[in-house]
A and B are shown apart, each in its own frame.
Chain A
Amino acid sequence: MNSRLFAIIRKEFIHIFRDPRFLTITIVMPLLMIFILGYAVKLDINKIPLVVIDHNRTADSRAFVNKFINSGYFIIQSRMDNTGKIHDLFKKRNAKAALIIPTDYSENLKTQLSTKVQLIIDGSNSNTASIIMNYVNMITASYSQEINLHYIQFPLNIEPRVWYNPDMESVNFVIPGLVAIILMMICALLTSITIAREKETGTMEQILVSPVNPIEIILGKVIPYVILGFIDGALIVFIGWFWFHVPIHGNIFLLAFLSVFYLYSALSLGVFISTLANSQLIAMMTALVITLLPSLLLSGFLFPISSMPLVLRAISHIVPAKYFLVIIRGIIMKGIGISYFWQQILFLFGLGTLLLILSRSGFKTKLE
Chain B
Amino acid sequence: MQKILYLIRKEFLQVLRDKAMLRIIFIVPIIQLILLGYAVTTDIKRIPVVFCNLDESAMSRELISEIKHSGYFLINYYEKDPQKIRDYLDTGKAKIAIIIPIDFSGDLQRNLHPDIQILVDGEDSNTSLVALGYVSNIIQAFSKEQFRDKLLGNPQQARRIHLIEPLIRVWYNPNLLAKNYMVPGIVVMLLTIITTILTAMGIVREKEIGTLEQLMVSPIKPYQLMVGKTVPFAALGLLEIAVAIIVAKLWYNIPILGNLGILTLFAIIFMFTTLGLGIFISTVAKTQQQAIFMAWFILVFGIIMSGFLFPIENMPKFLQYLSYANPVRYFITVVRELFLKGSGITYLWKEGLIMLIFGVTIITLSAMRFQKRIK
A interface residues, Cβ below 8 angstroms from B = 21, 24-25, 29, 32-33, 36-37, 39-45, 47, 64, 87, 90-93, 108-131, 133-134, 136-138, 140-141, 143-144, 147-148, 151-166, 168-170, 172-173, 280-281, 284, 297-298, 300, 302-304, 306-309, 312, 326, 329-330, 333-334, 336, 340
Contacts and interface: CB of A to CB of B under 8 A. Distances in A.
A36 B120 CA distance: 28
Nearest to B131: A304
A234 B111 CA distance: 55
B147 A154 contact: yes
Nearest to B309: A302
Q: Nearest 8 pairs between A and B by C-beta?
A: A134-B133, A165-B122, A123-B173, A123-B170, A127-B42, A168-B125, A162-B122, A43-B126
Contact of A116 (B36, B116, B165): B165
A142 B114 CA distance: 17
B90 A334 contact: yes
A128 B292 CA distance: 35
Contact of B126 (A47, A124, A127, A281): A127
A340 B42 CA distance: 28
Nearest to B339: A124
B203 to A, nearest CB: 16
Contact of B162 (A87, A93, A118, A148): A148
A122 B174 CA distance: 9
B311 interface: yes
B123 A45 contact: no
Interface stretch (B8-16, B242-250, B297-305, B352-360): B297-305
Nearest to A160: B118
Nearest to B157: A151
Contacts of B111: 155
B57 interface: no
Given A165-B123, A170-B126, A307-B43, 4 more contacts: A129-B170, A137-B133, A303-B42, A336-B90
B315 A131 contact: no
A354 B316 CA distance: 45
A303 B38 CA distance: 10
B116 to A, nearest CB: 6
B117 interface: yes
Contacts of B36: 297
B233 interface: no
Interface in B127-185: 127-130, 132-133, 136-137, 139-140, 143-144, 146-147, 150-151, 157-158, 160-174, 176-178, 180-181
Interface in B248-291: 288-290
B341 interface: yes
Nearest to A110: B162
Contact of A42 (B113, B132, B167, B315): B315
B347 interface: yes
Contacts of A45: 311, 313-314
B222 interface: no
A126 B169 contact: no
Contacts of A144: 162-165
A173 B122 CA distance: 9
A293 to B, nearest CB: 8
B116 A307 contact: no
Contacts of A170: 125-126
A216 to B, nearest CB: 27
A144 B343 CA distance: 37
Interface residues of B, number: 98
Given A118-B169, A124-B341, A297-B36, A156 B315 contact: no
Interface string B165-209: 111111111101110110000000000000000000000000000
A37 B301 CA distance: 10
A359 to B, nearest CB: 23
A161 B163 contact: no
Contacts of B43: 126, 307
A84 to B, nearest CB: 14
Nearest to B134: A134
Given A130-B133, A165-B125, A326-B92, A156 B170 contact: no
A114 B91 CA distance: 43
A155 B123 contact: no
Contacts of B126: 43-44, 127, 170
Residue among A112, A114, A312 with the most chain B CB within 10 A? A114
A120 B169 contact: yes
A42 B336 CA distance: 20
B172 A114 contact: no
A64 B337 CA distance: 32
A26 to B, nearest CB: 12
Nearest to B36: A297
7 contacts: A39-B316, A122-B172, A123-B171, A124-B336, A126-B178, A284-B289, A312-B39
B118 A297 contact: no
A151 B300 CA distance: 57
Given A148-B163, A152-B161, A309-B38, A329 B123 contact: yes
Nearest to A152: B161
B35 interface: yes
B48 A141 contact: no
A334 B129 CA distance: 18
B124 interface: yes
Contact of A134 (B129, B288, B315, B319): B129
B171 A90 contact: yes
Contacts of A308: 38-39, 41
Contacts of A302: 309
A153 B144 CA distance: 11
Contact of A91 (B75, B151, B293, B343): B343
Nearest to A300: B124
Contacts of B168: 119-121, 133, 136-137
B113 A156 contact: yes
A297 B140 contact: no
